[in-house]
């Protein structure tokens, strides 16, 4: 007769692992599954009257990539839109490219940030200048490095611009590229986007990225623009969304046509600085979503640690029932999270191969390392001077 000892060390270790397993399962089924289920719905019927749109781009020494990407935005299949490019002291040929393109595209307008501007980060000032010059209610912000994958990109955003909507969040990531660093950056960007898009679908929108983001001009003006965080070099996108986004006024663009892509950073240093800058900005986030994200990350790490400990203890004690239960925890979590990760990646046209399991395994460690870097970094490097 097989007996189960509920007082053994194996039982205790399995119980601790089970707690973290249940928390992880809640996140997987309750949050991370939402994007795939959302993309699996039937397509919308496109509204008859698509709202006019103003696309805002701030460029600085973008060079030839501006010449490559801007036509993909200017040639969008959309009835009425304008593209406003603000040039920030570019030392290269940005101004020449803009003048040449404006001769071909009558909906392209461009200006520059004055040399004397000192009171705010130049990126924020550029976006603010573009919004002030815009003629339409709906603002779409993106980057000169971004290229829509479809000529229907603006249409895919406009489908979400209902009368009750103030913010539309879109997906952005890097172009596929060979090499471990490139794949690591792309997977990390995918997971970050998956998080904030799923949180928005769960009713807790907390950020957006200014590569693929739309909001109403009136909402921006009512919030007094970026006045809450003028001291930061960053935050013109995510902190604005964090302040004004609610369950009732935020939607997520869906479909492959809604995606924009940009080149992988040329150097690891640039990418690491971007991650640190995002952490500094994230310190100012309000709401429950950032806390929920932190809990998920640490319970993920604690699940792996407790799973390994429980497995070793039960095997060494020859308590095979507890070994089987612990093994079942690991298998169910692995299959569940990989199911939704891979389906969401497929929906977003990402191909990661076998990299996602390793990313999931090591992301708590990566998060801890970035947090240590954040503690020792000079915060003033991310503040305006």
Instruction: Give residue 215's Cα distance to chain centre.
Output: 16
Which stretch of 310-314, 357-361, 374-378 has the lowest confidence by average pLDDT? 374-378
| Per-residue pLDDT reduced to its tens digit, 338-351 | 999 999 999 999 98
| Per-residue pLDDT reduced to its tens digit, 140-193 | 999 999 999 999 999 999 999 999 999 999 999 999 998 889 999 999 999 999
117 pLDDT more than 90: no
C-alpha distances (whole Å) from 110 to each of 100, 130, 208, 257, 302 are 11, 9, 25, 26, 51
381 pLDDT more than 80: no
- Going from the N-terminus, what domains does the chain have, and what CATH number goes with each? 9-36+290-382 (no CATH), 46-194+203-267 (3.90.550.10)
Mean per-residue pLDDT for 206-219? 95
201 near 254, Cβ under 8 Å? no
Q: Residue 379 and residue 61: Cα distance in Å, rounded?
A: 26
| Per-residue pLDDT reduced to its tens digit, 288-307 | 999 999 999 999 999 999 99
């Amino acid at each position: 007769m097989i007996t189960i000892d509920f007082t053994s060390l194996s039982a205790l270790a399995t119980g601790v692992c089970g707690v973290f397993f249940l928390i992880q399962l809640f996140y997987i089924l309750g949050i991370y599954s939402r994007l795939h289920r959302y993309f699996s719905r039937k397509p919308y019927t496109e509204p008859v009257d698509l709202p006019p749109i103003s696309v805002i781009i701030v460029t600085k020494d973008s060079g030839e990539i501006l010449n490559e990407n801007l036509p993909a935005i200017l040639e969008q299949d959309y009835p009425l839109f304008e593209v406003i490019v603000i040039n920030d002291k570019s030392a290269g040929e940005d101004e020449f490219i803009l003048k040449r393109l404006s001769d071909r595209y009558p909906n392209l307008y461009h200006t520059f940030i004055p040399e004397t501007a000192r009171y705010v980060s130049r990126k924020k000032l550029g976006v603010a200048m573009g919004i002030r010059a815009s003629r339409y209610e709906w603002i779409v912000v993106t980057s000169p490095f971004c290229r829509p994958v479809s000529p229907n990109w603006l249409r895919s955003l406009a489908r979400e611009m209902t009368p009750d909507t103030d913010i539309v969040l879109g997906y952005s990531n890097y172009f596929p590229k060979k090499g471990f660093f490139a794949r690591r950056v792309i997977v990390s960007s995918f997971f970050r986007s998956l998080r904030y898009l799923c949180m928005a679908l769960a009713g807790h929108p907390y950020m957006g990225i200014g590569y693929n983001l739309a909001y109403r001009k009136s909402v921006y003006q009512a919030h007094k623009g970026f006045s809450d965080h003028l001291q930061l070099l960053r935050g013109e996108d995510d902190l604005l969304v964090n302040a004004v986004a609610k369950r009732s006024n935020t939607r997520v663009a869906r479909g492959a046509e809604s995606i924009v892509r940009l080149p992988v950073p040329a150097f690891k240093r640039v990418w690491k600085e971007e991650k640190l800058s995002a952490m500094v900005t994230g310190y100012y986030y309000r709401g429950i979503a950032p806390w929920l994200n932190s809990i998920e990350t640490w319970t993920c790490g604690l699940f792996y640690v407790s799973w390994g400990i429980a497995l070793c203890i039960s095997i060494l004690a020859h308590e095979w029932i507890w070994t089987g239960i612990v093994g079942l925890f690991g298998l169910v979590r692995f299959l569940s999270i990989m199911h939704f990760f891979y389906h969401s990646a497929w929906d977003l046209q990402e191909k990661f191969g076998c990299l996602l399991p390793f990313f999931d395994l090591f992301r708590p460690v990566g998060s801890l390392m970035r947090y240590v870097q954040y503690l020792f970094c000079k915060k003033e490097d991310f503040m305006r001077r």
